[in-house]
Amino acid sequence: MSSTDFEGITEQLHTIADYCRYGASLFNQAELFYGHGNDNALSEAFTLVMFAISLPENMGDEVMSCRLLKKEKEDILAFFQQRIETKKPIAYITNLAYFAHLPFYVDERVLVPRSPIGELIENHFAPYFNEQKPPQKILDLCTGSGCIAIACASYFPEAQVEAVDLSIDALNVAQMNIENHGLSEQVILIQSDVFSGVEGQRYDLIVTNPPYVDQEDMASLPTEFTHEPEMGLGCGDDGLDIVRVILAQGAKHLNENGILICEVGNSQYHVEALYPEVDFTWLSFERGGHGVFMLNKAQLEKHAELFSAAVIV
């Protein structure tokens, strides 16, 4: 689709519904991949249409019959063209992603927020914490855009949250998001290679979505994922180089009764194969998602020797 085609299309299509349907058809023909917030072509088109006309996505169905101005139509078609030609995730086109019902600025310096951990945060990590005993100190390892740290701070307003990442680029994006949410006094950013920047610190909750994609999956990622920073995705042959360190060092950074929650996605298979003796609690999600485990401090200490032996040096 080129800009020369716009005039003919804009004369034939008139409503929001028209452009959502047309965009979905274009996206299906282009065989795009949906893994960054939407899971189908129609939702993808709807997101771009509503962004182009500066309306929220949660408006009622009655908005679908609203007619569009010519400039709005042209803007929508330009976004469709960009999505098809670049195969960028929509969040990099709009610089906007939602996580735990909160908006975040994102660009190619960070992964697009999509972790099922968001559902855990919305549920206040029940049943591991409750209103009578919420986490007072939280660590977000491999924070990226800062979405997990900021969501934790928003849902636990009395908690102190520290967010660490090795990437200066990612920390710069996270700082923008912290400031946008007015949380500069509650969320502290630290450049750190896993726990290196928080020596001697202990937390009630360590939550992390580290790089975990194995080399086989990295080699076959859809084009959309190649726009994301590689260091945020892949991590060794089995994807677990950083997870090994987290498991080996996590116990000494947890308070008594503290817990670790870690996402490993499809590398759950590798985790279970590497540590068959460990009774991981694999969490379930109402909105979909998998490969997130929970271990408490006592479990990490119980298997300390096993975890330490598995670290790749």
Task: Please state the φ and ψ torsions of residue 259, each to the nearest 5 degrees.
Answer: -130, 155
- Provide the angle, in degrees to the nearest 10, between the axes of the packed helices 41-52 and 16-30: 130
Which of 27, 60, 94 terminates a domain? The answer is 94
- Same domain for 105 and 90: no
- Same domain for 71 and 177: no
Confidence of residue 59 (pLDDT cuts 50, 70, 90): confident
Domain containing residue 265: 100-310
Q: Identify the helix (H) or strand (E) that includes residue 306.
A: helix 304-310
Which of 48, 68, 94 terminates a domain? The answer is 94
- Same domain for 170 and 297: yes
CATH of residue 157's domain is: 3.40.50.150
- Same domain for 109 and 54: no
Q: Which two tokens stand for residue 312?
A: 């790749």
Q: Which two tokens stand for residue 47?
A: 């997101």
- Same domain for 53 and 157: no
How far apart (Å, rounded) are the C-alpha atoms in residues 193 and 197?
7
- Same domain for 183 and 51: no
- Same domain for 203 and 57: no
pLDDT digits (tens, 9 = 90+) for 89-147: 999 999 999 999 999 999 999 999 999 999 999 999 999 998 889 999 999 999 999 99
Domain total of the chain? 2
Q: How many CB atoms lie within 10 A of CB 276?
A: 8
pLDDT for the residue 5: 59
Q: What is the pTM of this model?
A: 0.93
Which of 62, 94, 126 terminates a domain? The answer is 94
Lowest mean pLDDT among 7-16, 84-93, 200-209: 7-16
Q: Which two tokens stand for residue 268?
A: 């759950």
Task: Report which DSSP code applies to 254.
Answer: E
Ranges of beta strands (E only) in the chain are 97-99, 102-104, 137-141, 160-165, 187-191, 203-208, 254-263, 281-282, 292-296
Q: Is the pLDDT of residue 6 over 70?
A: no
**Average pLDDT of the residues of the chain:** 95
- Same domain for 42 and 156: no
Q: Identify the helix (H) or strand (E) that includes residue 13.
A: none
pLDDT for the residue 167: 97
- Same domain for 153 and 51: no
- Same domain for 72 and 126: no
Task: Please state the φ and ψ torsions of residue 291, each to the nearest 5 degrees.
Answer: 75, 35
- Same domain for 108 and 82: no
Task: Compute the average pLDDT of residues 162-189.
Answer: 98
- Same domain for 271 and 169: yes
Q: How many CB atoms lie within 10 A of CB 48?
A: 26
The order of strands in the sheet holding 281-282 is 187-191, 160-165, 137-141, 203-208, 254-263, 292-296, 281-282
